[in-house]
Each structure stands twice: as C-alpha cells, then as structure tokens.
C-alpha cells in the first residue's frame, strides 16, 4: 500500500515539473524547487523502507563522527594554521596583521567546511557502498525499468574507479581554492565564501551522488557532468539543499541515505529528458 502510494506521488511530481526548455526566471526557479523536491522524495524512503534506510545511516554516522573530530581539531588549532598560512603578514603593522589573520582564519574555516561536506559524501559512499547500492536499486526497481547489471571485470572496474575519483577530486580542490580566496576578502568574504561554497559544492555533490545510476548505465564522469549540466537548475536545487543540510552533523546522518535515494530519482528524470552524450 505504501509503495503504491509512493510510486504515484513520484509520477505526479515528475509530471508537474517544468520542461527543461523553460529558461524564463519563473521556470528556472520552478526547476530549482523541483530539484530540491527530489531530496524530499528521498526522505520518503524512511517511511517505505525504514530498515534499509537505517542501514544506510550507519556508515554516515561512523564517518560523521570522524569528520566532526577533525573539524574540532581544526578549530582548536585555527590560530596556528592561520599564522602558518599567512607568513607575509609578519612584515606589516600589528593592526593589518590582525585583520589579515582573522580573514585567513574565517577563510580556512569556510574552506574546511566545504571540503568536509564534499569529501564526507564521497567517503561515506565508499564505506557504505553495499547499503547505498541497495537503496539505489530499490528506487530503480520501484520506478521500473531498472538498468541491467554491468560486469566490466575487476581490473577495468578498478582503473575506471581511480580515473573517476581523480576527475571528481580535481574540481573539488579548485573550488576549495576559490572558496578560500573569496574568504580572504575583508567583510564581503564572510558572506561570499559560504555562498560560493554552497553553489559549487551543491553541484559537486549532485555529480557525486548520481554516480550509482549513471555508472550502471555506462556513463563516465565526464558524460555524467554533461548530462547534468543540461538540467543545471534542477541539479542545483537538489545539490545545494543537500549541501546545506549536510552542514548539520546530526542531520547529515539521516540526509545521506535520503540523498542517495533522491539522486536515483533525479538521475532517471535527467536521463529521460536531457540529450545524452554517446555512451562508450
């Protein structure tokens, strides 16, 4: 009964979405909210499959404890890190030195949070891979036309995994540098850096979380990005909301399996409506 209700709700929500060709401001915002709605659908899995979602929350909890400890360690040693990061400040007057190091401290905290949120999702997906694959597969089977399992062989899978990992990490490092640079801007940086982190971090999270669905259909990371780019507003809505909720450590544990389920639904919609690149 619950599964039937959930399938109908997903179909209704998909039918109400704005077509991707609607580029008007109102249409873009509708796509943003529709993208955020996928995370809400993912939360619905806690009702229909509570045991499976609870299992998905366990690796998120374990990894989360490690990350919170690391952030606390960073906060305790923030002054020393800020001094290390700004050796040039030793040659200026005391007032300027204080301003520079306070700005650097803020930038380090914001950048650390950005990198923690993104890598938290990546590490948790690796640690809890068997559980998250089951969540993804449950969504695919509930919605119908689940992709066939692909056997690439052990070595090819390993090499592809390493290559995909590098392609996912490089943009994160680049965005981390951008967030840090924005945080160094006096006054404005305290607002600009978190906004930049949320917008870019949300997109990176969306690419990361949709990996199961796209990989099962034979897409590379590059092709995945190209497809998601065609539905930028939809992807941004899902990814940015996920990023913001990940900022709350306790809530992140519940959000992680929900995000995996929501990403599976998002992937199906994007792959259905977007013009997909050729699959190798």
**Does the pLDDT of residue 5 top 70, yes or no?**
no
Tell me which of 24-28, 35-39, 195-199 is least confident: 24-28
Q: Determine the Cα–Cα distance for residues 246 and 120; give it in Å rounded to an integer.
A: 9
Q: Determine the Cα–Cα distance for residues 184 and 195; give it in Å rounded to an integer.
A: 14
**Does the pLDDT of residue 279 top 60, yes or no?**
no
- Indicate the pTM of the whole model: 0.79
- DSSP three-state, residue 218: coil
Which of 162, 167, 135, 139 lies closest to 60 in space, CA to CA? 135
154-193: pLDDT as tens digits:
555 555 556 656 666 777 788 888 888 888 787 788 888 8
- Show me where the domains of the chain are located: 39-273
70-105: pLDDT as tens digits:
989 988 998 888 888 888 878 778 888 888 888 888
Which of 80, 81, 83, 75 lies closest to 113 in space, CA to CA? 75
Mean pLDDT, rounded, for 30-49? 92
Half-sphere exposure of 233 (CA within 13 A, CB side): 18
Provide CB contacts within 8 A for 128, sequence distance 6+: 56, 58, 59, 60, 256
């Amino acid at each position: 009964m619950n599964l039937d209700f959930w399938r109908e709700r997903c179909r209704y929500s998909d039918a109400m979405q704005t077509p991707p060709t609607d580029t008007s401001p109102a249409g873009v915002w509708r796509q943003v909210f529709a993208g955020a709605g996928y995370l809400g659908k993912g939360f619905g899995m806690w009702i229909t499959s509570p045991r499976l979602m609870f299992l998905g929350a366990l690796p998120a909890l374990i990894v989360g404890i490690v990350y919170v400890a690391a952030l606390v360690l960073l906060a305790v040693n923030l002054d020393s890190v800020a001094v290390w990061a700004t050796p040039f400040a030793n040659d200026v007057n005391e007032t300027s030195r204080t301003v520079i190091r306070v700005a650097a401290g803020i930038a380090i905290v914001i950048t650390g949070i950005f990198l923690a949120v993104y890598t938290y999702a990546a590490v948790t997906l690796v640690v809890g891979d068997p559980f998250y694959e089951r969540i993804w597969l449950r969504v695919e089977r509930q919605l119908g036309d689940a992709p066939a399992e692909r056997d690439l062989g052990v070595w090819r899978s390993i090499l592809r995994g390493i290559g995909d990992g590098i392609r996912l990490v490089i943009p994160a490092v680049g965005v981390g540098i951008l967030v840090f640079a924005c945080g160094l801007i006096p006054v404005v940086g305290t607002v600009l850096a978190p906004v930049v982190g949320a917008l870019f971090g949300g997109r990176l999270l969306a690419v990361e979380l949709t990996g199961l669905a796209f990989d099962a259909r034979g897409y590379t990371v590059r092709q995945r990005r190209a497809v998601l780019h065609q539905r930028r507003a939809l992807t941004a809505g899902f990814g940015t909301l996920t990023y913001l909720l990940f900022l709350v450590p306790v809530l992140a544990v519940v959000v992680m399996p929900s995000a995996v389920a929501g990403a599976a639904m998002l992937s199906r919609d994007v792959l259905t409506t977007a013009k997909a690149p050729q699959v190798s």
